[in-house]
Structure 1
Amino acid sequence: MLEKWDGQIREVAIDSAWGTNRAGHEIFVLLGEAYGSGMPLGYILIKSIGRSKPDSKTSLLVQFLQHFRDQYTLDPKFTLSDKDFAEIGACQTVWPDAKHQLCF
C-alpha cells in the first residue's frame, strides 16, 4: 500500500486497543489517508503489564513510526491520535512539522 500511494498520504492516525486482553498486550495501528480513503499501514504489539522504564512505550512507538518515515518516505502534513501522551509524543518526535490533532 505504501509503495502504491507513495507521496500521496497526507494524514496518518495512530490508535490502540488498550485493556482488551488479560495478557497485557496493546496493539497499535498506523492508518493512512489518501484520496478520502483510510488504509492500515502497519501494526505493533506492545506488552504493557508490569513496571517499565519511563517513556518506554513512547520509545517503541517512535521506532515504529520512524520505520515508515525512513523506509517509505512517509511525510504526513497531519497526524491524529487520542489523548495518549505516548502516541502524541511519538508523532511529534518523528514528524515535528506535521500538525497534530486530537480525536474528540
Structure 2
Amino acid sequence: MYSHLSDKTNSKHLELYCVMAEADNAGFPLSYCLLSTVNAISQNKRMTALTEWTKGLQDKWGINPSFVHLDKDMVEIGMVREVWVDAKIQLCYWHMKQAVCKCLAKSKLSTTPY
C-alpha cells in the first residue's frame, strides 16, 4: 500500500534531483540540482537545465554511469539518453508499484486506441 501525497505538498515549487553512487551496498550523493518549477515548468526548460547539470558532471568529474534508476519521467529519460548514452535505464520499483496501484485504484480503466 502507498500513501498519496497532496499536490500542495511542495509549496515552494521546487524539484530536487540527485546523482548518487553506490559502494559496498551504501549510497552516496555526488551532486544535487534544485530547480524551480515556477520558471522551469515547460519540458524544454527542465530538459535543458538537467542536461547542462549532468553534462557538467560528466565533463568535470568524468561521471559516466553504467545504469541509472529513474521514475517514469520522460524528461529525465531523455536527459539520460542524451548525456549518458551507454547507461542502462532502470525504472525505480517503488515508482512502478505506485503507478500500478494508482492505475488500479481508478474506478474506470481506460484503454489505448490502436
Tell me how far 1:98 sits from its aligned partner: 1.2
User: Structure 1's 51 and 72: CA in aligned 2 closer, same or farther, altered over 3 A?
Assistant: closer
Tell me the residue number matched to 1:84: 73
User: Structure 1's 45 and 20: CA in aligned 2 closer, same or farther, altered over 3 A?
Assistant: farther
- Secondary structure of the corresponding residue to residue 79 of structure 2: helix
Alignment size in residue pairs? 87
Structure 1: 5+ residue stretches without partners: 1-17
Tell me how far 1:71 sits from its aligned partner: 0.6
More helix, by proportion: 2
More strand, by proportion: 1
- Give % identity: 32
CA distance in 1, matches of 2:40, 2:91: 27
Tell me the residue number matched to 1:57: 46
Tell me how far 1:84 sits from its aligned partner: 1.1
CA distance in 2, matches of 1:65, 1:46: 14
Aligned-residue RMSD, C-alpha: 2.1
User: Structure 1's 86 and 23: CA in aligned 2 closer, same or farther, altered over 3 A?
Assistant: same
**Greater C-alpha radius of gyration:** 2
Alignment of 1:1-104 (within 5 A): 20-49=9-38, 52-104=41-93
CA distance in 1, matches of 2:40, 2:83: 25
The TM-score normalised by the length of structure 2 is: 0.66
Is the 2:15–2:34 contact (alpha carbons within 8 Å) kept by the matching residues of 1? yes
Query: Which runs of 4 or more aligned residues in structure 1 lie more than 6 Å from their structure 2 counterparts after TM superposition?
Result: none
Tell me the residue number matched to 1:5: none
The TM-score normalised by the length of structure 1 is: 0.72
For each residue in 1:24-43, what CA deviation from the matched residue of structure 2 results, as whole angstroms up to 9, or x when unmatched? Answer: 11111111112322100111
- Secondary structure of the corresponding residue to residue 91 of structure 1: helix
